[in-house]
Structure 1
């Protein structure tokens, strides 16, 4: 896979100093009018609706619209009483330039959110929706400077860390060769349930016919703290690998996982371990909450020494920030 999979957009800034970067992004955030920050003018919580058992997400893609992270395009309905369980994620489109609608249903585990300490992945968070909206829009209606090379993305192997409800695997797997969603063991049943809810016939133990929707999705355990606890020589044997022989990860996605300082050493070490120098691109999408936590994450990532990091501009509006990174050869 060519390292040109990801095209850093014009205007994106190189990140070499965590303090400087944090000063810049939080200054911009604090200057933004409150009623323009995040959905419904709200900043800080970030989940869609933790009260619902089933959420319906609708992505509206149109050739005339500029890609946006606005959640005004997302339908959030409580469908607990009228679930379409067993049907595939619906895509409607009449011709190449016609608007397209992608509908996804997701189950949430409200009980786990409140009963399992530190469990935030059992409900859907807005950052995943905002990121998926932009990538789907760019893929369906290419612009002059898309984030990904469409042809290279189609050949790529994607690994997601902290997949939560599994929304991104359902929304983006059709764009890639393979998509592996990972999280801690207690969350895997929810991710698998949601993949099965949107792709008829998909189960953890049964692979769909190659090329059919959802057939390239795998759901695997990857606990960052377990990886960190292992001796360095054993870490490479712990995390999942692409199914293709001798393949390595082309893209690692980390969406809205920067929230608890105790997890940062394990997360950064996991990023370092799963990535191949001069090959794997990492995208970290952050909702700007606790400044000290975000600063510590950047400090730890930059301290690895060989990473080139960029702040990706022009895709998402504050309070969301995207950092892209690729590890250089030591």
Structure 2
């Protein structure tokens, strides 16, 4: 089923040289003007607003014939939020759809817990969710992900942080499992509960209702790496369906610190199934040497086909699609 989950262009060639890929993407990045709308420009850390305890994230989805002025998701403080979803129809056809998500942050942990970057929301997650939601609501001729196949897929997210993607995208998939280190799980669970009434880790809404297919589980990459290979399959979470395997792995803005790269690459390798699992890696282009090392480590596995998916996110973000083949 998942062999065609990601829609690769007919003429696309797999990546084989990390240095060449880094040269191409950073040359393009250096030619792009600085974005004045971000707090730090496109070379910044990329968080949305680490000063707020709560954010309201608004996704405006618009039919191609009715473009909006912004064309992108917006964020604002919860004091001005409107929870829920709304839609406008013209002559019986839906031309726009709005999704709003309330999201708590732990701004104290960002400063007090060493290495904790997942306790606040990062812009890459909003940008990626906007693309998937827009294509899900108004399917284009060249989607990133096949909508019908995604609906039957089990999705695993690594480094889920605040849990935004599980809340935004769970309705698009059969099941969605958000994972992160243990200290972040309470925040993810809090946010899922804020947006889906009655959701708790062990007490979920009735089957088929919004949010009922979300699970939040611990998956520490460094813990997995420390285990003998024969024991690793006992550690990471499995899809909720018996004998199922992961169809799609999401890794969104997780490549930022070189010390985590060996564990991250090994985790992606371990949780994936040859001939079935696709991985989508969304990277904000920060330190060139860190991104290069990630690509080198992954290509050295020699068990993946990697493709750059242009045209879905603007720089400084890059989308790599990858399938395990051996």
- Bin the TM-score by the shorter chain: over 0.9
CA spacing shift, 1:143–1:74, aligned 2, 3 Å: closer
The residue number in structure 2 matching 1:127 is 124
Q: How many residues align?
A: 324
**Does residue 4 of structure 1 match 2:1?**
no
Describe the superposition over 1:219-263 as per-residue Cα deviations: whole angstroms up to 9, x where unpaired: 000000000000000001100000100000000000000000000
Instruction: Report the 3-state secondary structure (helix = DSSP H, G, I; strand = E; otherwise coil) of the residue aligned with 1:15.
Output: coil
**Does residue 156 of structure 1 match 2:156?**
no
Give the drift of 1:304.
0.5
**Does residue 144 of structure 1 match 2:141?**
yes
The one of the two structures with greater contact order (alpha-carbon pairs below 8 A, sep at least 6) is 1
CA spacing shift, 1:13–1:36, aligned 2, 3 Å: farther
CA spacing shift, 1:180–1:66, aligned 2, 3 Å: farther
The residue number in structure 2 matching 1:26 is 26
Instruction: Report the 3-state secondary structure (helix = DSSP H, G, I; strand = E; otherwise coil) of the residue aligned with 2:155.
Output: strand
Aligned equivalents of 1:71, 1:305: Cα separation in 2: 41
Could you tell me whether the CA contact under 8 Å between 2:72 and 2:127 is conserved in 1? no
Aligned equivalents of 1:91, 1:20: Cα separation in 2: 45
**Does residue 92 of structure 1 match 2:97?**
no
**Does residue 183 of structure 1 match 2:198?**
no
Could you tell me whether the CA contact under 8 Å between 2:60 and 2:71 is conserved in 1? no
**Does residue 320 of structure 1 match 2:317?**
yes
* Structure 2: runs of 5+ lacking an equivalent: none
CA spacing shift, 1:18–1:67, aligned 2, 3 Å: farther
Instruction: Report the 3-state secondary structure (helix = DSSP H, G, I; strand = E; otherwise coil) of the residue aligned with 1:308.
Output: strand
Could you tell me whether the CA contact under 8 Å between 1:159 and 1:182 is conserved in 2? yes
CA spacing shift, 1:65–1:229, aligned 2, 3 Å: farther
**Does residue 231 of structure 1 match 2:220?**
no
CA spacing shift, 1:65–1:317, aligned 2, 3 Å: farther
1:153-302 equivalences in 2 (<5 Å):
153-302=150-299
Instruction: Report the 3-state secondary structure (helix = DSSP H, G, I; strand = E; otherwise coil) of the residue aligned with 1:73.
Output: coil
Could you tell me whether the CA contact under 8 Å between 1:184 and 1:223 is conserved in 2? yes
1:308 to 305, 308, 321: 305
TM-score, normalised by the number of residues in structure 1: 0.93
Give the drift of 1:9.
3.7
Aligned equivalents of 1:252, 1:285: Cα separation in 2: 11
TM-score, normalised by the number of residues in structure 2: 0.94
Describe the superposition over 1:134-186 as per-residue Cα deviations: whole angstroms up to 9, x where unpaired: 11111111111111111111000000000000000000000000000000000
The residue number in structure 2 matching 1:76 is 75
The residue number in structure 2 matching 1:55 is 55
Aligned equivalents of 2:194, 2:133: Cα separation in 1: 20
* Structure 1: runs of 5+ lacking an equivalent: none
Give the drift of 1:13.
4.8
Give the drift of 1:209.
0.6
Could you tell me whether the CA contact under 8 Å between 1:188 and 1:220 is conserved in 2? yes
Give the drift of 1:34.
2.0
CA spacing shift, 1:40–1:234, aligned 2, 3 Å: closer
